[in-house]
A and B are shown apart, each in its own frame.
Chain A
Amino acid sequence: MRKSATAVSLEPARSGNQETNSKGFNHHRSRRCIGIRIERGKSMNRKMVRKVTLATFALVAVLCAPRPGLAADAKTPYPSMAPLDQYLMEDRNAEIDLARTAAPPSISRDATVMVLGRHGYETAVEGKNGFVCMVDRAWMGSFDSPEFWNPKNRGPVCYNPPAARSILPLTLKRTDLVLAGLSKAQIIDGLKKAFQKNELPALEASGMSYMMSRQGRLNDSAGHWVPHLMFYVPLRDAMSWGAGLPGSPVLLNPHFNGAPEPLTEFMIPVSEWSDGTPASTDHH
């Protein structure tokens, strides 16, 4: 990359003094959570930097928290798991409908739909097109996210058939470990062991998912964010897709990326919600 370009990295910053303002906003941590490291050259485009910063902040603010198990968790609004009831949706039909909003009706109408129960996800509707729609909960975020335990998060997603076979099992595994009452460290350890023992399937080529719901709530900062598609590839760096670079429509989702799941997830915002209404494409 030329020095005049703006380099955006999703790696956490590793040094710097911690300063807290009058509102209790920790500048050092916020820089770390946003995870953007910017190298400024002579002709750096400040407007572009702002856009990238704002948009990425909305999505990856989840990186704010320190590593799992550290005392810093206590500083987040969601330091530990809330009662299970807060993660469940009382109205099963409402959860089915919400899950289906992840993709256009032409896809979700014939999809299998799973809903979260007290013992994990269960099939509510059998599908016939190979897609599986469900509503992710907060624990599908990064383990160092400050919203890892946010009980309000609802992430409608529809997996295509290859992702339903190879990515959905990760969601089911994490959920099982969470509902078993394990700590973050134990969950991470459980996932690592599952991969080592080949209990989790290998990534299938062409795995992708739809997240085009305007009814979802991805986190406190982003709300429903923008409609987007997600793509799963073997673990690699963001540059392999040009993700996060100025002007690139591709973003890196940090929620797997080797921590601990050995795969990389890219996102591409699209112009319409699943119901066909236009969405702002000024996401970065």
Chain B
Amino acid sequence: MSTNLHPIEQEELMAYLDGELPADQAIAALSHLELCPECQTLASDFRGVSQELMAWEVESPEVGIPSKINAALGERLQKGEAAKVSSPRLKNRVMTSRWVWAGALAIVCVAVGLKLTLTSRNRNEDRSTAYPSMASIEQYLMPDRNAEIAMARSAAPEAISSDAKILVLGWRGYETAIEGKNGFVCMVERSWMSPFNSTEFWNPKVRGPLCFNPAAARSILPLTIKRTEMVLAGLSKAQMIDSIKAGFDNKKLPPPEPGAMCYMMSRAGYLNDAVGHYAPHLMFYFPLTDKASWGADLPDSPVTLNPQFQGGPEPITEFVITVGKWSDGTEAPVM
């Protein structure tokens, strides 16, 4: 990559992918990535190598070498000793073989180093999960903009979502696809709206359609926007958490407004690997409070606590109530 054509070096790109660039440089890198197919490909390659390496496991050697193999090796060794002085051609082959082994060793060293570099930002994360780090951005995007609009609208009954504002995810964050007129805002959330300690925080398959009511559009949607911008800027989880805390401390992020709620009644969504589209439900947002104040999660209570925020770090409590029908009016299974 030439610096004449690209304002960021490969090393910087790798640092960006590792979440090691300062926020302003990360945003600059992201801006260039958005416009540069060559860099997108390179970034994708870097991530691909990283993921393959992380998934790679060295198989354990067999405990004992079968006796037949031992005998064959011994026989070949004797033949080799006898022939090694008399055959210059074979000698060259042996030398070539040594170079091959040396090269292979070098490749392994480079691969291990690359792996350590690419995964440095995930050192504190759970490597036992299927999604230990961010996948390539393309995997989180929906190539069909109209499909994303339709999915976003499926979060609420048509009577609500048909007049709602629709946001779709682009390279730089959510952008308005359709202006609304009833104050509701519908969109498709991605996995990074899960709790930070969720094993599926980076699951690229997650699609969570939801429609915020006007109060939530003003006070909860900014949290989604904020997290998404930071994710796309390549910040680490720790950096994101710090930034969100600072946002609430300096009041750049708003507290939940009274009456803030949202619809999640889509049967087309995919909330995580365990529950799929789950059940149609509504969610309600409040300043951080004890779940007992709503009787949430008690036996036979229809109210459950969503751990999405709950002080980790957003100081918001979110309650969930399942309802009987999907947004299209069809019956949903009783949860």
Does B associate with A? yes
Chain B hits for A130, CB < 8 A: 292-293
Query: Known: A6-B159, A206-B294. Contact between A249 and B289, CB under 8 A?
Result: no
Q: A223 at the A/B interface (Cβ < 8 Å)?
A: no
Q: Is the CB of A247 within 8 A of B295?
A: no
Q: How far is the CA of A272 from the CA of B294 in the complex (A)?
A: 17
Q: Give B244-266 interface residues, CB cut-off 8 Å to A.
A: 256, 258-259, 261, 263, 265
Q: B163, B294, B334: which contacts A1 (Cβ < 8 A)?
A: B163
Contact flags A166-210 to B (C-beta < 8 A → 1, else 0): 000000000000000000000000000000000000010110101
List residues of chain A with CB within 8 A of the CB of B261.
Answer: 241
Q: How far is A205 from B183 in the complex, measured between Cα atoms in Å?
A: 21
Neighbour of A160 across the interface among B157, B295, B302, CB < 8 A: B295
Smallest Cβ-Cβ distance to B302: which chain A residue: A270
Task: Give CA–CA (A19, B18) in the complex, Å.
Answer: 75
B323 and A247 form a contact (CB under 8 A)? no
A5 CA to B156 CA, complexed, in Å: 14
Whether a CB of chain B sits under 8 angstroms from the CB of A86 is no
**B282, B300, B317, B325: which contacts A276 (Cβ < 8 A)?**
B300
**Known contacts A5-B162, A105-B300, A278-B334; A205/B321 CB under 8 A:** no
Q: Cβ of A206 and Cβ of B295 under 8 Å apart? A: no
**CB-contacts of A19-54 with B (<8 A):** 48
- Known pairs A130-B293, A161-B293, A242-B157; A104 contacts B299 (CB<8 A): yes
Closest residue of chain B to A242 (Cβ to Cβ) is B160
Question: Is A245 engaged at the interface, CB distance under 8 Å to the other chain?
Answer: yes
B159 and A106 form a contact (CB under 8 A)? no
A131 surroundings in chain B (CB, below 8 A): 295
Residue of A nearest to B160 (CB): A242
With the chains together, A267 CA to B72 CA distance in Å?
81
- Which residues in B have their C-beta under 8 angstroms from that of A206? 284, 286-287, 289, 293-294, 317
Count A interface residues, CB 8 Å.
49
Contacts of B160 in A (CB 8 A): 242, 245, 247-248
**Taking A205-B286, A205-B287, A231-B284 as contacts, is the C-beta distance between A106 and B327 under 8 angstroms?**
no
Interface string of A120-147 (1 = CB under 8 A from B): 0000000001110000000000000000
Which A residues touch B214, using CB under 8 A? Answer: 240
Query: Beta-carbon contacts of B273-301 to A below 8 Å, as 1s and 0s?
Result: 00000001010101101001111001111
Q: Is A76 an interface residue (CB 8 A)?
A: no
Nearest chain-B residue to A246 (Cβ)? B159
A268 touches B162 (CB 8 A): no
Shortest CB-to-CB span from A265 to chain B, Å, is 11
Residue B303, interface by CB 8 Å? yes
Cβ of A250: which chain B residues have Cβ within 8 Å of it? 282
The CA-CA distance from A100 to B260 in the complex, in Å, is 29
Q: Say how far B149's CB is from chain A's closest CB, in angstroms.
A: 16
Q: Which residues of B contact A12 (CB under 8 A)?
A: none
Proximity bits, B292-335, A CB within 8 Å = 1, else 0: 11110011111100000000000001000111110111010010
Kindly state the separation between the CA atoms of A64 and B214 in the bound complex, as whole angstroms. 31
The proximity string for A residues 87-112 relative to B, scoring 1 for CB distances below 8 Å and 0 otherwise, is 00000000000000001111100000
Contact of A233 among B258, B299, B329 (CB under 8 A): B258
Given contacts A1-B159, A205-B287, A242-B160, contact A107 B321 (CB under 8 A): no
**Cα-based distance from A247 to B158 in the complex (angstroms):** 8
The interface size of chain B toward A, counting residues with CB under 8 Å, comes to: 46
Interface residues of A in 214-246 (CB under 8 A from B): 227, 229, 231, 233-234, 236, 239-242, 245-246
Q: Give min CB distance, B102 to chain A, whole Å.
A: 68
A2 at the interface (CB under 8 A from B): yes
B215 to chain A: closest residue by CB? A240
CB pair A106–B323 under 8 Å, yes or no, is no
Residues of A near B325 (CB, < 8 A) are: 247, 249, 281
* Interface status of A274 (Cβ within 8 A of chain B): yes
State the CA gap A105–B280 with chains docked (Å).
25
Shortest A60–chain B CB gap in Å is: 19
Q: Is the beta-carbon distance between B321 and A268 smaller than 8 angstroms?
A: yes
Contact pick for B259, options A48, A212, A234, A278, CB 8 Å: A234
Is B224 interfacial (CB-CB < 8 Å)?
Answer: no
Cα distance A160–B321 in the bound complex, in angstroms: 15
Given contacts A271-B324, A271-B334, contact A129 B292 (CB under 8 A): yes
Expressed in whole angstroms, the minimum distance between the Cβ of B178 and any Cβ of chain A is 13
Contacts of A247 in B (CB 8 A): 157-160, 325, 327-329
Asked if B293 and A162 make an inter-chain contact with CB atoms under 8 angstroms apart, the answer reads yes
Give Cα A270 to B215, complex, Å: 23
Interchain CB contact under 8 A, B163 and A2? yes
Is A269 interfacial (CB-CB < 8 Å)?
Answer: yes
Residue B272 at the chain A interface, CB threshold 8 Å? no
From known contacts A161-B293, A234-B258, A271-B322, infer whether A242 and B156 are also in contact, taking CB-CB under 8 Å. Answer: yes
Residues of B within 8 A of A239 (CB): 182-183
Give 17 CB contacts A-B under 8 Å.
A1-B182, A2-B162, A5-B162, A106-B300, A107-B298, A107-B301, A160-B295, A206-B286, A239-B182, A240-B214, A245-B159, A249-B265, A268-B282, A270-B302, A271-B322, A278-B334, A282-B324
Going nearest first, the 4 A-B pairs with the smallest beta carbon separation are A281-B324, A247-B157, A104-B300, A233-B259
- Residues on A lying within 8 angstroms of B by beta carbon are 1-2, 5-6, 48, 103-107, 129-131, 160-162, 203, 205-206, 208, 210, 212, 227, 229, 231, 233-234, 236, 239-242, 245-250, 268-272, 274-276, 278, 281-282
Using CB atoms and an 8 Å cutoff, list the residues of chain B in contact with chain A.
156-160, 162-163, 182-184, 213-215, 256, 258-259, 261, 263, 265, 280, 282, 284, 286-287, 289, 292-295, 298-303, 317, 321-325, 327-329, 331, 334
